[in-house]
């Protein structure tokens, strides 16, 4: 007897993870290939062939597998076009002086993978949107029609769901909430996008690290963090220090939570979500980041929204979110089609 599975794929700069996921969100088999081995523009084709071969081998080990589709989370992935468009850390030109324009780095990922996988259904979106759909299908947002997912990793990503549908925008790239202005565009922190004052320059693993070092320069109190070089410093070290009542760590979380809380109050005014869900490495700090974020969000809410919006941790935080997010793209559409056929 066959059983239906969706394949979820997460394309990272170092590795590509993939796995078979059942209707309940259980990853029953998984694998990975190196992305870094295929880092240049001309490596895209052998990368795709290697990925397809590895997935076929995984499926072959599950003789009861009925593959309903393949969902992919990737940087700069566009659900409308099915393409991955000029990704920052994937399939770059090997020679920085290559005269070809960067605009040709547009990869027809959906069509290419479907062809290699014998016509299988393939869907693709960016990794933050995939995480939001994973939360809606398998996590704490089940049953919610309006919520926002904020991913707090090296940067800040977001997936916004309104009326039960992901907000993609006309070009497929909506939801870049990490790049709203949280400070002056003239004098704020430099962001990796090239502008100044972006939210993710303050609220992310990288952002809170910068805040901690600013505080160590301006505060005179003792702190175990002072002995850690910048290039060895990780956000988790702040959580460990905060648990020991380290004043630098506690103040770093307070300031980061304030910036995030103000931004979430603004997000609420635009989208009126039932809940805002935090996910990612920085969110693992738990109450150290949740408490100040909720405090400043509530203090700065428009009156009509006060006390209405839940701030929650992800319900898939400890699972293989990268794979679940991609698979959820397929399961969401499959389940909606099943409901429609019965109505």
pLDDT 10s digits, 177-196: 999 999 999 999 999 888 99
| pLDDT at residue 88 in the model | 77
Q: What is the pLDDT of residues 245-283, one digit of tens each?
A: 999 999 999 999 999 999 999 999 999 999 999 988 899
Domain at 203, CATH number? 3.30.420.40
Q: Are residues 111 and 240 in the same domain?
A: no
Q: Are residues 177 and 225 in the same domain?
A: yes
Q: Are residues 158 and 302 in the same domain?
A: yes
Is there a contact between 321 and 25 (Cβ–Cβ < 8 Å)?
no
Q: Are residues 114 and 193 in the same domain?
A: no
Q: Are residues 331 and 309 in the same domain?
A: no
Looking at the structure of the chain, the number of domains it has is: 2
Residue 273 lies in a domain: yes
Average pLDDT over residues 287-292: 97
Give residue 317's pLDDT band: very low, low, confident or very high (50, 70, 90): low
Q: Are residues 285 and 151 in the same domain?
A: yes
Q: Are residues 162 and 120 in the same domain?
A: no
Q: Are residues 171 and 92 in the same domain?
A: no
| pLDDT at residue 320 in the model | 74
Residue 297 lies in a domain: yes
> Long-range CB contacts (< 8 A, 24+ apart) of 41-48?
41/91, 41/92, 41/93, 41/94, 41/105, 42/94, 43/91, 44/91, 44/107, 47/91, 48/109, 48/112, 48/113, 48/116
Tokens encoding 205:
């693993």
The tally of CA atoms less than 13 A away on the side-chain side of residue 55 is: 30
Residue 257 lies in a domain: yes
Q: What is the pLDDT of residues 59-110, one digit of tens each?
A: 999 988 999 999 999 988 999 999 999 987 799 999 989 999 989 999 999 9
Residue 138 lies in a domain: no
Angle at alpha carbon of residue 224, lines to 222 and 225, rounded to 5°: 105
Q: What is the pLDDT of residues 207-243, one digit of tens each?
A: 999 999 999 999 999 999 999 999 999 989 999 999 9
- The torsion angles phi and psi of 223, rounded to 5 degrees, stand at -160, 135
Average pLDDT over residues 311-318: 85
Q: Are residues 36 and 114 in the same domain?
A: yes
Strand ranges (E), 156-242 = 156-162, 165-166
Range of the domain at 275: 144-313
Q: Could you give the CA distance from residue 309 to residue 323 in angstroms, rounded to a whole number?
A: 28
Residue 301 lies in a domain: yes
Residue 191 lies in a domain: yes
Is there a contact between 41 and 92 (Cβ–Cβ < 8 Å)?
yes
Buried b (16+ CB within 10 A) or exposed e, 163-196: eeebbbeeebbbbbbbbeebbeeeebbebeeeeb
Residues whose CB is less than 8 angstroms from the CB of residue 319 and which lie 6 or more positions away in sequence, other chains included = 25, 27, 138
Q: Are residues 74 and 191 in the same domain?
A: no
Residue 157 lies in a domain: yes
For the cut 70, the answer to whether the pLDDT of residue 343 exceeds it is: no
Residue 93 lies in a domain: yes
Residue percentage of the chain with pLDDT more than 70: 98
Question: What sign does the CA torsion over 70, 77, 267, 288 have?
Answer: positive
């Amino acid at each position: 007897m066959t059983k239906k599975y969706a394949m979820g794929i997460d394309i990272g700069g170092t590795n590509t993870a993939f796995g078979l996921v059942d209707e309940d969100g259980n990853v029953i088999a998984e694998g990975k290939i190196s992305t870094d081995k295929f880092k240049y523009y001309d490596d895209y084709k052998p990368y795709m062939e290697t990925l397809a071969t590895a997935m076929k081998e995984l499926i072959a080990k599950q003789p009861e597998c009925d593959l309903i589709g393949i969902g992919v989370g990737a940087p700069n992935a566009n659900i409308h076009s099915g393409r991955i468009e000029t990704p920052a850390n994937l399939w770059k030109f090997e020679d920085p002086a290559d005269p070809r324009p960067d605009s040709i780095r547009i990869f027809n990922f959906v069509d290419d993978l479907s062809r290699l996988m014998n016509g299988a259904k393939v869907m693709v979106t960016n990794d933050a949107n995939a995480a939001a759909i994973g939360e809606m299908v398998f996590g704490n947002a089940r049953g919610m029609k309006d919520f926002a997912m904020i991913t707090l990793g090296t940067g800040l990503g977001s997936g916004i769901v309104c009326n039960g549908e992901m907000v993609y925008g006309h070009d497929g790239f909506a939801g870049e909430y990490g790049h709203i202005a949280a400070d002056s565009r003239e004098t704020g922190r430099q962001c990796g996008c090239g502008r100044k004052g972006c939210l993710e320059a303050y609220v992310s693993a990288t952002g809170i690290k910068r805040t901690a070092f600013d505080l160590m320069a301006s505060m005179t109190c003792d702190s175990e963090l002072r002995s850690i070089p910048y290039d060895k410093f990780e956000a988790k070290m702040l959580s460990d220090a905060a648990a020991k009542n380290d004043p630098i760590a506690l103040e770093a979380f307070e300031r980061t939570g304030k910036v995030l809380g103000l931004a979430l109050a603004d997000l609420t005014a635009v989208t009126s979500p039932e809940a805002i869900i935090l996910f990612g490495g920085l969110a693992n700090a738990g109450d150290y980041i949740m408490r100040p974020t909720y405090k400043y969000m509530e203090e700065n809410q428009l009156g009509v929204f006060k006390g209405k919006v839940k701030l929650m941790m992800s319900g898939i935080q400890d699972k293989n979110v990268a794979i679940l997010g991609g698979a959820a793209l397929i399961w969401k559409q499959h389940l909606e089609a099943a409901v429609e056929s019965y109505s």
